[in-house]
Structure 1
């Protein structure tokens, strides 16, 4: 029997008997009280790690944040490992294990250490805006979520419940800019997902604690290469000259737009285009140069972009359609499209929806109201997606509320830190108890 089916049975029996989580028990009161008592300490930890620059390519800074949090896990009795990232050109990942050996569900908690703000960013420090709002690089995305993981686990340890739990925490160092190859950069996360029954991500989602993610669209890259015959522009469309590379690239992109844009939850975006007689494309730097003359038929075009889709089936269907479009070449042109590994989609499975039901019941019992699923169109790719197909249940966006992440105006809503920590602690307790 699938784990989510077992939990559904317990959940239903409790509801029918009137003995569902209709009130908070004494252990849960203890968890709540601990979070309130230690909130000032949690905010101090948040400030400390926000003030450490950990842009993805600042390997030293990413490791420093990892060191700070590793000490917290060590103090909780976790076995901690730093997975070096040299093989995929990143700092690496922090992995922490607490396996009691009990038959409690195996829980995977997911965070990340890196931010989009590198060492040359003007946005470097934590700044208190008012009693409820603070600015800071990565405060919402997602250092607040990392602190929530730590203090939820501290609350469980204080209540004497951590000792019976089975937990792995993976805090990646390259969520914002993944290392390559992906099979190495995400290996620690995938290995943990293969072990786990349930995955919980502590990203900030859409920044609203009244929502959570039961699905995330995947994100994969593509590159279109088009070639034609160089010739004097006065000869274009002649049988032996043909349409040229730019006309062919335009046909393909327009066909993508016309034939695919109406599909639900699908987006596809050409982010870079170079074309002319000669071009130089730097795929690593995401840049390039092109040379061409108005009186010369273009010989080459390269276009790069991404696809975001909700399920593996949708990805496969869209790729097949794009290949069909690319193959219908205009005269004397050739075109190929290549797809690259990326973030897989996290489909909205029955198990994921059931986990959201359990989480929203926790929230309602704590007096925080219902939690609604986020529209997948409003959710980007995230590390939790790499658990798809391995765990029975997954949910994301249990992190701290905030706004304007990935900009120098990023803020965290400080009142949501204890709120989300209480929810997380009680959720983990209930999952483990059942």
Structure 2
């Protein structure tokens, strides 16, 4: 099979996937994505283990029936950030060498790429595809809260981890990511009429404002630390002292030490009230450790780069502040490369796109990398 001649077929599968709503909390849609994908893996001889979930889509673990102890782990996610109805309002389309639609690059094109990379290896007579275990999870966009334990368990003993987030716009793969965390501050105050008896109130919004200022003072961008209260909620009426206010916090760090320190600092900020009579409840944690470019990751990147050069691709690597499941495998000491999916941009927006020519190019790269890694392991 020449994967380049399969472009039309691959785009057909991609169109099917993009036109299915699969937001993280739309379980029916995410499970439908799984139903579409599973026959392809079964045809390749993979056994399916379904890890059922109540609130999000079921996670899928795929192992070849002839090899239960594979050395390569591939992780890809089936969920998107888009609400139900988006696919109908903005269905799959093609224009000027690009494909558009919700989740087209993050990461439905990668799901297609994984399938056709394995099919390519089987069709050319390579047994390397049997040395791959695939995890398709359904909550990556919300932090992989239920799939993280699965990824970490299945990663034990693996020689390599390949994470299928899309390549950067310039085609680079990812070898380093900042760690991330999500926290929520819920402030309880006391309501009162702001015109008649304001002194009887205890403003939850005022207390939250104090906390926002202190939290933003924790920023140290030069050291890779960012703290952002990105969403706030509170109040019932403009003439009422607010009895409730909520702040949602995003935290990014560059090192494991920073992750531990930030948890303690945020807890300290929220340990006492600035506005007398208000109470604070803090929830959340550092969800993903940072992915650090260590010697093992550098060595794996050089293998991937050499394979790319043989295909005429001058592959570069980069670091990014966004989070992904690569953080989990890399923190376990497993050589990990991220961004192995096709090339595109504007993920999570109405402008999200896939560079169509990269779909077959990066699929072939993935297949050849799998083949090379199996050879490296056996040498």
Q: CA RMSD in A?
A: 3.2
Match of 2:61 in 1: 95
1:354-411 deviation line (CA, Å, top 9, x unaligned): 222221222122211031213x23xx22233332433521111111111222222222
Q: In the alignment, is the contact (CA less than 8 A) between 2:192 and 2:201 conserved in 1?
A: no
CA distance in 2, matches of 1:331, 1:47: 54
The 5 A counterparts of 1:375-386 are 376-377=320-321, 380-386=322-328
- Whose radius of gyration is greater, 1 or 2? 1
Match of 2:374 in 1: 432
Q: In the alignment, is the contact (CA less than 8 A) between 2:206 and 2:275 conserved in 1?
A: no
1:200-252 deviation line (CA, Å, top 9, x unaligned): 1111143432x111223333221224456778979x9x9xx999654443333
1:313-369 deviation line (CA, Å, top 9, x unaligned): 211111222233334644635554524146312321412232222212221222110
Instruction: Tell me how far 1:420 sits from its aligned partner.
Output: 0.6
In terms of mean alpha carbon deviation, does 382-391 or 153-162 score higher? 382-391
Cα separation, partners in 2 of 1:62 and 1:102, compared to 1, 3 Å: closer
Q: In the alignment, is the contact (CA less than 8 A) between 1:102 and 1:164 conserved in 2?
A: no
1:405 to 315, 337, 347: 347
CA distance in 1, matches of 2:32, 2:266: 44
1:69-97 deviation line (CA, Å, top 9, x unaligned): 211111111112332222xx112122210
Match of 2:251 in 1: 307
CA distance in 2, matches of 1:205, 1:368: 13
Instruction: Tell me how far 1:292 sits from its aligned partner.
Output: 6.0
Q: In the alignment, is the contact (CA less than 8 A) between 1:46 and 1:139 conserved in 2?
A: yes
CA distance in 1, matches of 2:16, 2:194: 62
2:219 to 246, 252, 260: 260
Give secondary structure in 2 for the equivalent of 1:74.
helix
CA distance in 1, matches of 2:233, 2:108: 38
Cα separation, partners in 2 of 1:55 and 1:244, compared to 1, 3 Å: closer
CA distance in 2, matches of 1:99, 1:388: 27
Match of 1:293 in 2: 239
CA distance in 1, matches of 2:244, 2:30: 40
Instruction: Tell me how far 1:145 sits from its aligned partner.
Output: 0.6
Cα separation, partners in 2 of 1:173 and 1:186, compared to 1, 3 Å: same
Cα separation, partners in 2 of 1:275 and 1:40, compared to 1, 3 Å: closer
Cα separation, partners in 2 of 1:415 and 1:231, compared to 1, 3 Å: closer
CA distance in 1, matches of 2:186, 2:130: 52
Structure 2's unaligned 5+ residue stretches are: none
Q: In the alignment, is the contact (CA less than 8 A) between 1:327 and 1:335 conserved in 2?
A: no
Match of 2:114 in 1: 149
Instruction: Tell me how far 1:275 sits from its aligned partner.
Output: 4.6
Structure 1 position 208 matched with structure 2 position 170: yes
2:43 to 67, 70, 75: 75
Match of 1:222 in 2: 183
Q: In the alignment, is the contact (CA less than 8 A) between 2:58 and 2:138 conserved in 1?
A: yes
Q: In the alignment, is the contact (CA less than 8 A) between 2:263 and 2:285 conserved in 1?
A: no
Length-normalised TM-score, structure 1: 0.76
Match of 2:80 in 1: 115
1:172 to 125, 130, 137: 137
CA distance in 1, matches of 2:187, 2:82: 35
The 5 A counterparts of 1:222-241 are 222-226=183-187
Structure 1's unaligned 5+ residue stretches are: 1-32, 277-289
Cα separation, partners in 2 of 1:322 and 1:432, compared to 1, 3 Å: same
Structure 1 position 389 matched with structure 2 position 331: yes
Instruction: Tell me how far 1:178 sits from its aligned partner.
Output: 5.6
Instruction: Tell me how far 1:126 sits from its aligned partner.
Output: 1.7
CA distance in 2, matches of 1:58, 1:226: 29
CA distance in 1, matches of 2:190, 2:34: 54
Match of 1:39 in 2: 7
Q: How many residues align?
A: 374
Cα separation, partners in 2 of 1:231 and 1:168, compared to 1, 3 Å: same
Match of 1:135 in 2: 100
Structure 1 position 52 matched with structure 2 position 20: yes
1:251-304 deviation line (CA, Å, top 9, x unaligned): 33222223434452222221333455xxxxxxxxxxxxx34637x5x6654322
